[in-house]
Amino acid sequence: MGKALDGVRVLDFTHVQSGPSATQILAWLGADVVKVEAPTGDITRKQLRDLPDADSLYFTMLNCNKRSITLNMKSDRGKQLFTEMIGKFDVMVENFGPGAVDRMGFPWEKLQELNPRLIYASIKGFGDGPYTHYKAYEVVAQAMGGSMSTTGFEEGPPLATGAQIGDSGTGMHAVAGILAALYQREQTGRGQRVTVAMQHAVLNLCRVKLRDQQRLTHGPLKEYPNKEFGDTVPRSGNASGGGQPGWAVRCAPGGPNDYVYVIVQPVGWEPITQLIGRTDLTEDPEWATPEARLNKLDKMFQLIEEWSINHTKWDVLAMLNKHNIPCGPILSTKEIINDDSLRANDMVVDVPHPQRGTFTTVGMPIKLSDSPAEVERSPLLGEHNRDIYVQELGVAEEELAELSANGVI
Q: Show binding-site residues for substrate.
A: 242-244
Residue 359's SS3 state is strand
Rounded CA-CA distance 161/169 in Å is 12
Contacts of residue 141, Cβ cutoff 8 Å, sequence gap at least 6: 125, 165, 166, 167, 170, 198, 199, 201, 202
Residue 155's SS3 state is coil
Transcribe 207-226 into DSSP letters: HHHHHHHHHHTTS--TTS--
Q: Which of 32, 42, 167, 258 is catalytic?
A: 167
Half-sphere exposure in the Cβ direction for 170 (13 Å, CA): 36
For the annotated binding site for CoA, the residues are 17-18, 71-74, 95-97, 103, 135-138
Closest CA to 308 of 270, 256, 272, 265: 272
Q: Which residues are 261's β-sheet partners? A: 248, 328
**64 C-beta neighbours (distance < 10 Å), count:** 25
For the annotated binding site, the residues are 17-18, 71-74, 95-97, 103, 135-138, 242-244
Annotation says 167 is catalytic: yes
Positions marked catalytic: 167
